[in-house]
Chain A
């Protein structure tokens, strides 16, 4: 799970962003891209708040995300892996299962 994929996976989740100049922004992650540019949406009324903000990736020092995101991502990637494996297995079995292909409609009924 690459850092940027983790960022991608935390879309919609609250996070704290610290910029290189030491300013911090809290908010829900709306969108991000491969350059780490991000847009945040306001998250409660705790601080002086902007409705939305866009942060250029190059000005970021670090992002803090919730603890459970990383676990969710792990589970999901494991599930995807299993799914892929199943699909691959299916592909392997394909010929065997449909061995009656092209031999007429009733060939698969054996008495």
Chain B
């Protein structure tokens, strides 16, 4: 990294570049960063929403996004050359298919969590409140 400016100032280099943005709910958005502000509110153009489940992925065009900065976990530039090579370890499937897989994954995870909680409760741990772990 050549220069690091405090706050969101370092984002200036990423303007008009293709970025991957991960939100707190686990969403992956890929789009061109058009602008941002001091809160890291972002404007993404030609956005793709990509869902990855195990070794499958699917994506859908989503247009222009204004993302409220609070919800951003990370963002990073996408290497154009590497992107062109594709993803040798992932299979592309339709959005409908991946959505289905994704929902199944969420369901399974919930069931596992419930199971875990039950066991912990039996052993004298207190119940956990809220579901902060949204990934």
Interface residues of A (CB under 8 A from B): 1-4, 6-7, 20, 22, 36, 57-58, 60-67, 69-70
Shortest distance between the CB of B75 and any CB in chain A (Å): 13
> Does B108 sit at the interface, judged by CB under 8 A?
no
Partner of B43, one of A6, A57, A61: A6
Shortest distance between the CB of B109 and any CB in chain A (Å): 16
Number of interface residues of B (CB under 8 A): 19
Partner of A67, one of B63, B70, B71: B63
Q: List 7 A-B contacts (CB under 8 A).
A: A2-B36, A2-B37, A3-B36, A3-B66, A61-B71, A63-B65, A69-B64
Shortest distance between the CB of A45 and any CB in chain B (Å): 23
Partner of A64, one of B37, B63, B70: B63
Q: Give Cα distance in the complex from A22 to B134, angstroms.
A: 12
Residue from the set A22, A58, A66, A67 with the largest chain B CB neighbour count within 10 Å: A67
Q: Is the CB of B37 within 8 A of A63?
A: no
If A1-B34, A64-B65 are given as contacts, then 12 extra A-B residue pairs at C-beta distance below 8 Å, sorted by A number, are A2-B41, A3-B35, A3-B43, A3-B67, A36-B68, A58-B70, A61-B23, A61-B71, A62-B71, A67-B64, A70-B34, A70-B43
Give the dominant DSSP class at A's interface. Answer: mixed
Q: Is the CB of B68 within 8 A of A60?
A: yes
Q: Is the CB of B42 within 8 A of A3?
A: yes
Shortest distance between the CB of B66 and any CB in chain A (Å): 4
Partner of A66, one of B25, B36, B64, B71: B64
A interface footprint on B20-41 (CB within 8 Å = 1, 0 otherwise):
0001010000000011110001
Q: Is the CB of A3 within 8 A of B41?
A: yes
Which residue on B lies nearest to A60, using beta carbons?
Answer: B68
